[in-house]
Amino acid sequence: MRRRKIKGSDEKLLCYTDYVITAAQDHKGKWREIFGNKNPIHLEIGIGRGSFVKRFAEKKPEINYLGIETKEEVMLYGVQESAEAKLSNIKFIWQNAMELTDFFETGEIERIYLNFSDPWPKKRHAKRRLTHPDFLEKYAKVLPNNGEIHFKTDHEELFEFSLNVFSESGWTLKNISLDLYRNLPEDNIPTDYESKFVEQGLKIYRFEAIVPGGDGF
Ligand SMILES: C[S@@+](CC[C@H](N)C(=O)[O-])C[C@H]1O[C@@H](n2cnc3c(N)ncnc32)[C@H](O)[C@@H]1O
């Protein structure tokens, strides 16, 4: 997705007070109050234009969805579309996922989606990858026992790096696919990046990981 700066998108985003959260740390331990129910909460980190999380929220009203994104000009699309659809089970956090453990208590998030995360191919940028061991430590702190991460990418090196990091950090890996579209699950929801890459004929890699200490042990 090429980053196209939309003038005033930050101000526009802030108009959607029912949907946009700018200080998630204020809600730590109290997310059930934000949604007004006790339904499980699933989180996508790095939502881009947000159509994945918005489509999930439409399809599964029994789950609450949160999307985190730093770039206001892309996030605005998902926010506007969710507001137009009057969805009540979705919120958007306009902050950096580096601070995740300030946002959530242990067990508050049941599932995390990482879709087409920036690969940061240079070694000196490895710490920015959302599957770096430092991030995995944070994920393990906010997920419950049996909490899951669902990961998709078109980037072979990031896939390989991530599989190794999850495995070395004691996560249980399952449903590993080296070509998701060869045997596409019926319930797959494509992200914006995914649709573009599939059109280009690229392979999509996927896996699921269960938090260390979960049922896999
Ligand atoms: C390559 S895009 C993928 C967008 C979307 N998931 C998709 O598949 O269409 C990655 C997005 O993750 C966001 N991102 C990367 N690191 C982040 C972080 N630490 N916190 C929040 N967002 C982040 C970027 O701003 C970017 O919009």
Alpha-carbon distance 16 to 19, whole Å?
Answer: 5
pLDDT digits (tens, 9 = 90+) for 74-88: 999 999 999 999 999
Report the pLDDT value the prediction gives residue 4, as an integer from 0 to 100.
54
Alpha-carbon distance 113 to 52, whole Å?
Answer: 10
Location of structure tokens 């995740």? 100
CB-ligand 1 contact for 193 (6 Å cutoff): yes
Location of structure tokens 């929220």? 57
CB-ligand 1 contact for 204 (6 Å cutoff): no
Contact 42, 65 (CB under 8 A): yes
Alpha-carbon distance 41 to 110, whole Å?
Answer: 6
What is the domain partition of the chain in residue ranges? 7-109
- Residue 46 CA, closest ligand 1 atom number: 12
Residue type, 7: K
Q: What b-and-e string marks burial along 73-111, b requiring 16 or more CB atoms within 10 Å of the CB?
A: bbbbbbbbbbeeeebebbbbbbbebeebbebbeeebbbb
Tell me if residue 134 is catalytic: no
Token representation of residue 37? 């129910």
CB-ligand 1 contact for 53 (6 Å cutoff): no
pLDDT digits (tens, 9 = 90+) for 41-75: 999 999 999 999 999 999 999 999 999 999 999 99
Q: Which of 170, 174, 179, 175 is nearest to 198 (CA)?
A: 179
Q: Is 76 helix (H, G, I), strand (E, B) or coil?
A: helix
Number of residues that make up the chain: 217
Alpha-carbon distance 33 to 167, whole Å?
Answer: 35
Q: Is 136 helix (H, G, I), strand (E, B) or coil?
A: helix
Distance 81 CA to ligand 1 centre (A): 18
Domain 7-109 has CATH 3.40.50.920: no
Distance 119 CA to ligand 1 centre (A): 10
pLDDT digits (tens, 9 = 90+) for 109-135: 999 999 999 999 999 999 999 999 999
Question: pTM for the whole thing?
Answer: 0.95
Report the pLDDT value the prediction gives residue 216, as an integer from 0 to 100.
46
Distance 117 CA to ligand 1 centre (A): 6
Residue 168 has pLDDT above 70, yes or no: yes
Alpha-carbon distance 21 to 13, whole Å?
Answer: 10
Location of structure tokens 């699933």? 42
Q: Which of 102, 108, 112 is nearest to 39 (CA)?
A: 108
